[in-house]
């Protein structure tokens, strides 16, 4: 399976998006005790490794490739979520 197909499949994975939303909520709750970006960075890597190793890579995918592409897709999803969060904060003022 081409890498671009893996990337788009991961971008539309509802479970991955849900985990990343939960990650942002957790990072917001622990921001006072920890730096906000440490849990986000660790969670990004955790989700990228968790999904292909626990559910197995899809047919025609190598696990290492799915993890590597997962890092980029998670970063893309998190960028969109963080941008949406900033827009919400500006509109809520």
Name the pTM for this structure. 0.86
Q: How far apart are CA 16 and CA 13, in angstroms?
A: 5
Residues 6 or more apart in contact with residue 61 via CB below 8 angstroms: 1, 6, 52
End-to-end CA distance of the chain: 46
pLDDT in tens, 8-65: 999 999 999 999 999 999 888 876 777 788 889 999 999 999 998 988 766 767 889 9
The domain segmentation of the chain, as residue ranges, is 3-92
pLDDT in tens, 64-87: 999 999 999 999 999 999 999 999
Q: How far apart are CA 80 and CA 66, in angstroms?
A: 21
Q: Give me the pLDDT at residue 50, please.
A: 92
């Amino acid at each position: 399976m081409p890498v671009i197909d893996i990337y788009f499949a991961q971008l539309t994975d509802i479970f991955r998006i849900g985990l990343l939303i939960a990650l942002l909520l957790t990072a917001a709750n622990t921001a006072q005790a920890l730096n906000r970006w440490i849990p986000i960075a660790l969670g990004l890597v955790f989700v990228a490794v968790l999904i292909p190793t626990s559910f197995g890579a899809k047919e025609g995918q190598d696990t290492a490739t799915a993890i590597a592409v997962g890092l980029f897709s998670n970063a893309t999803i998190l960028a969109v979520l963080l941008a949406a969060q900033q827009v919400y904060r500006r509109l809520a003022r």
